[in-house]
Amino acid sequence: MKGRAMVIAGSLLVLAAAGCAKHPSTGIDASALPGAAQGWDGKDGAGDRPDRNAYVPVAEMPDIHFAFDQYVLRPEAKRVLEAGAAWLKARPQALLMIEGHCDERGTNEYNLTLGERRAKMSKDYLVSRGIDAGRISVVSLGEEQPMCQEHNESCWMKNRRAHFMVKGQ
């Protein structure tokens, strides 16, 4: 009887812990991407994180934004990336770092994975427009560097973004 009570208590504890997850039950499998726990894909698996201080934002490559729990590029994001690709083509020596950001909702691991997917989607689009993949680094900062600190939808929308930084322009 005592053993049975222990099993029931243990099962209830496991169920309670599972019910406390911060991220939505649908969406991205945080373990699906290599490097997601570190938030850096190392240029598709090789190398160290680039020195962020060596890169600067440029007006010609403004942030693009994403819907909640999404990494699909919206039409307005594609327009921004088209202009960014033209700008990069005119500056073949420029290197690009794309930072993927998320709002505060979700676990750290989940947000690092989602941020990485946002940055990779942006990179893939630029590569499809003729930019050499070797010029582009991808990093996920998850929810760690929000633009806005308020806890509401209008603020969260600002934090769900890909941020572009250039070196050697």
Structural domains in the chain, CATH included, are 2-167 (3.30.1330.60)
Task: Give mean pLDDT in consecutive 10-residue pieces for the chain, a chain of 169 residues.
Answer: 49 37 39 39 48 91 96 97 98 97 94 97 98 97 89 86 94
Number of CB atoms found within 10 A of residue 44's CB: 14
* pLDDT at site 141: 95
Instruction: Report the pLDDT value the prediction gives residue 48, as an integer from 0 to 100.
Output: 60
pLDDT at 151: 85
Q: Where are the alpha helices (DSSP H) in the chain?
A: 2-18, 42-45, 75-89, 108-128, 153-159
Q: What single-letter amino acid sits at 29?
A: D
Distance (Å, whole) CA 159 – CA 161: 6
Question: Does this model's pTM top 0.85?
Answer: no
Cβ contacts of residue 160 below 8 Å, gap of 6+? 65, 66, 67, 68, 101, 102, 103, 118
Q: What is the pLDDT of residue 168?
A: 87
**Per-residue pLDDT at 149:** 87
